[in-house]
Amino acid sequence: MQNLTRKAIASAVALVISAGTLPVFAAEPVVQGPESVQDWYKQGHHFIRHSERIVDNHRHAKNVILFVGDGMGISTVTAARILEGQLNGKPGEENRLSFENFPNLALSKTYSWDQQTSDSAPTMTAMVTGYKAREGMLSVNHLTARGECDAAKIAANSLPTILEQAAAAGKATGVVSTARITHATPAATYAHTAVRDWEHNGQVTAACAGVANPVKDIARQLIEVSPTVAKSLKVALGGGREYFRHNTQFDPEDTTKKGLRTDGRDLTAEWVGTRGANAKFVFDQAGFDAATPTNTSHLLGLFERSHMEYEADRTNDTAKEPSLTEMTAKAIDMLDNNKRGFFLHVEAGRIDHAHHAGNAKRALLDTVEFAKAIKKAYEMTDPRDTLIIVTADHSHVFTIAGYPHRGNDILGMSKEVPAVDGSPTAPTKAGDGMPYTTLGYQNGPGAASNPRSNDLSSIDTTALNYLQQAVVPMGSETHAGEDVAIYATGPKSYLVRGSMEQNWIYHVMKEAFGF
């Protein structure tokens, strides 16, 4: 329809020009990309030459880093790429997030054993164990009963994780997340449980009353991992402090708040007490900065009572906290002095939360920070011996809509290329006569809080707190079931190719390690 309108106007203009009523020269397009005509061909030619020089690395990997952008679907990658470019003063579309330069790419099918569209528990279980699993369950097989409390049954159904196997092989290991370190994605690397929400003992007690030997809560599992993993797991950085501290213990940052544990245990102290003389627990930027590989053997950093701040809000934090890039760099510093190498998992956990809230800008800024962390990891490691995999656990119902022109503010209203060169751009009107934003959600809070009856012309849609419009009203925007991407570089990264089942990611890492 839009094309037809454009063609009709163009025809009319051509007719007028031919009749001699307008100057014969055409106006300059208002929207112009920075490329010359030759640039397009040169870029393609360069890509082919560069690709032909890439040689698959068949060696085993000394190190493996698994980056997971929680909820980072392909539309999120695209929008974040454009936003990062625009933040650097460019049109944005031509930009590449750091990991988009990796040589190997595949699509990951994210369904789980019982879910068409999955949550983070079975998806991360698939990636770190090699087995698809059940909704809400962490690193146990799909024979596990929903809500299974019995520790013996959980043990019988537990699946070894790539982190545990790396530890058994003498490698150093680490887990980093901007979410709680007990949240589903990071927890799947070290914990085994039927319920992802059993993060502190009170939740297990409430659900498993009367069970003689209930499964341990996730925070406790982190502290009471096997001796081999305890020795290997040198760094755990993220949020979730109150899940490790008891309910008569005041928080060191939010000093009027207390921990959540009802068993009287302070697991942060237990970390320090069980990991050797140089083990440390830190909760703020100063403590984080002071911990170095020379003065710290095992570092537990829990920087918020619950999840860490969004990157957009991080500088406002009371006690200050490190960025994902800083945590990634610290983790690599802590791990890479192990001669047998390391396994590290890094999660950008809050992309998912911002999407659930219907707040695209925070989701994208966290994605941009995620890309910076990956760039840092790539720079700090040797691509000849370090396999880096970047992927997502699942997608979100997040869309890039309309026919916005090149360089249009990705957070703004959709404005098309003008039908007549020289004409200014203007917001495109939808069928209801109202403008619409390029970014939106199929469902979520924006459906009710920012209805179509709102005239967006008077609203700053680029504001940090703006909630994009949505179609189906829901208190929380939902995950989406389409494939997500897998990006890989380093030894065995050529095995990341084509259409893959999500659990095959584990097999790539295992093959790379040579287990």
Partner 1 sequence: MNLKKTVILGCLGLGLSVMATAQAHEAHHGHQPADSASSTAGQPLKPLAARFDLSNNKLRTEWYLWRDADAVETADLATGQNNIWERQGKNDYSYRRVFHRDQRVVEYTPGEIRTRNAEPDWVKLASVVSPELLDSLKRGPSRMQFGQRAVRYSGILNGQKIELWWLEQARLPARLQIIGPQQRMELSLKEIHTEAPATWPRATDERIASYGKIDASDFGDMESDPFVARVMQQDGHHHAH
The nearest distance, CB 75 to partner 1, in angstroms, is 17
| Measured distance CA(67)–CA(386) in Å, rounded | 13
| Residue 235: its H or E element | strand 233-239
The nearest distance, CB 356 to partner 1, in angstroms, is 3
Task: List, in sequence order, the alpha helices (H) in 134-200.
Answer: 151-157, 162-168, 184-187
173's tokens:
């290991």
**Residue among 344, 390, 388, 392 nearest 491 (CA):** 388
Catalytic member of 98, 112, 118, 120: 120
By C-beta, is 220 or 362 nearer to partner 1? 362
Is the alpha carbon torsion for 218, 223, 226, 229 positive or negative? positive
Q: Which residues contact 236 (CB under 8 A, 6 or more apart)?
A: 174, 175, 176, 181, 222, 299, 300, 301
By C-beta, is 477 or 483 nearer to partner 1? 477
Asked if 440 and 401 touch (Cβ cutoff 8 Å), the reply is: yes
**Residue among 332, 377, 319 nearest 235 (CA):** 332
Residue numbering of the annotated binding site for Mg(2+): 70, 183, 185, 347
The nearest distance, CB 465 to partner 1, in angstroms, is 4
Integer CA distances (angstroms), 334 to 169, 234, 318, in order: 18, 7, 26
The nearest distance, CB 294 to partner 1, in angstroms, is 34
By C-beta, is 272 or 459 nearer to partner 1? 459
By C-beta, is 353 or 492 nearer to partner 1? 353
By C-beta, is 164 or 477 nearer to partner 1? 477
- Terminal-to-terminal C-alpha distance of the chain: 57
| Residues that bind partner 1 in the complex, under the rule CB under 8 A | 119-120, 135-136, 184, 196-197, 202-203, 206, 247, 258, 260, 262, 306-307, 309-310, 313, 316, 318, 350, 352-357, 359, 362, 445, 448-449, 464-467, 473-479
The nearest distance, CB 274 to partner 1, in angstroms, is 27
By C-beta, is 135 or 421 nearer to partner 1? 135
The nearest distance, CB 352 to partner 1, in angstroms, is 7
Check if 458 is active-site. no
DSSP 435-468: B-BSEEEEEETHHHHS-TTS-GGGS-TTSTTPPP
The nearest distance, CB 469 to partner 1, in angstroms, is 13
The nearest distance, CB 236 to partner 1, in angstroms, is 19
Residue numbering of the annotated binding site: 70, 183, 185, 347, 352, 356, 393-394, 479
Q: Let me know the angle formed at the C-alpha of 505 by 223 and 391, rounded to the nearest 5 degrees.
A: 85
By C-beta, is 324 or 509 nearer to partner 1? 324
Other residues' Cβ atoms within 10 Å of the Cβ of residue 212: 9
By C-beta, is 322 or 407 nearer to partner 1? 322
| Measured distance CA(312)–CA(464) in Å, rounded | 8
| Measured distance CA(136)–CA(198) in Å, rounded | 10
By C-beta, is 158 or 359 nearer to partner 1? 359
Residue numbering of the annotated binding site for Zn(2+): 70, 352, 356, 393-394, 479
CA 489, chain centre distance (Å) = 18
- CA torsion 395-401-405-407 (nearest 10°) is -30
- CA torsion 221-226-231-233 (nearest 10°) is -40
**Residue among 105, 109, 127 nearest 493 (CA):** 105
Asked if 484 and 332 touch (Cβ cutoff 8 Å), the reply is: no
Residues in the chain: 515
| Measured distance CA(248)–CA(237) in Å, rounded | 24
Q: With 0-12 CB in 10 A as exposed, 13-18 as middle and 19+ as buried, what is 60?
A: middle
The nearest distance, CB 228 to partner 1, in angstroms, is 30
Residues catalogued as catalytic: 120
